């Protein structure tokens, strides 16, 4: 056994011994009084009524000064104060609340692509890109433009993609007879 383990074991035994001594001490002297040196109360001094009973446990139901929930008017006033103090960034739109795929314009573009309505998909993806740059929205715009046969728009959107995504949409656009320029050839594993 290593010296560190021996020390830890000895320390654990010492702590356990102290806990046992304290428990015995508390059981002997439940009132918290210091024991008289070597003397025990006489039988006449001990009375059953003198032993205290433990109080009932206190159950916490919440803070005693808990205030009620704010009213809708108070919430509206607080919201108005926060909005007046914090200026909203111009890059945010009220239509797009987050960067997830359930953001409204991208959701419309995705559904339109699935239905084959490429005109709507292109308009919705460009509307989403006007608010916030998104590689997913950009890829939807390229694929919708390729599906419509619009080489200029497909190339313009593809030029703003990174090499990996650009290569992916280039493969899909080839099916529609549109070649995306500036795509590095992809090496295939053997």
Three-class DSSP labels, 111-143? HHHHHCCHHHHHHHHHHHHHHCCCHHHHHHHHH
Query: pLDDT tens, position by position, for the chain (190 residues)?
Result: 788 888 889 889 999 998 988 888 887 765 555 445 455 555 555 555 555 566 666 555 555 555 677 788 988 898 888 877 777 666 655 554 455 544 578 888 999 999 999 999 999 999 888 888 889 999 999 999 999 999 999 999 999 999 999 999 999 899 989 999 888 765 555 4
Integer Cα distance of 112 and 3 in angstroms: 71
For residue 38, what are its two tokens? 């070597």
User: Number of folded domains in the chain?
Assistant: 1
Range of the domain at 138: 104-174
Within-domain flag for 140: yes
Residue 132, in any domain of the structure? yes
Name the residue among 155, 160, 113 with its Cα closest to residue 138: 160
Q: Residue 160: inside a domain, yes or no?
A: yes
The Cα–Cα gap between 117 and 139 comes to 16
Residue 28 covered by a domain: no
* Closest C-alpha to 144, from 166, 176, 168: 176
């Amino acid at each position: 056994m290593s010296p560190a383990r021996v020390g830890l074991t000895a320390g654990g035994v010492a702590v356990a011994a102290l806990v046992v001594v304290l428990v015995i001490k508390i059981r002997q002297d439940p009132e918290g009084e210091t024991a008289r040196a070597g003397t025990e109360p006489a039988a006449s001094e001990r009375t059953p009524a003198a032993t205290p009973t433990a109080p009932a446990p206190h159950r916490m139901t919440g803070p005693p000064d808990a205030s009620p929930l704010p009213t809708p008017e108070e919430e509206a006033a607080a919201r108005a104060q926060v909005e007046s103090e914090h200026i909203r960034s111009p890059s945010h739109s009220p239509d797009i609340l987050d960067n997830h795929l359930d953001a409204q314009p991208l959701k419309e573009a995705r559904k339109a692509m699935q239905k084959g309505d490429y005109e709507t998909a292109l308009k919705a993806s460009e509307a989403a890109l006007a608010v916030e740059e998104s590689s997913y929205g950009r890829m939807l715009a390229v694929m919708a433009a390729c599906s419509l046969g619009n080489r200029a728009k497909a190339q313009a959107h593809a030029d703003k993609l990174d090499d990996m995504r650009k290569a992916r949409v280039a493969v899909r656009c080839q099916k529609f007879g549109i070649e995306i320029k500036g795509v590095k050839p992809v090496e295939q594993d053997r």
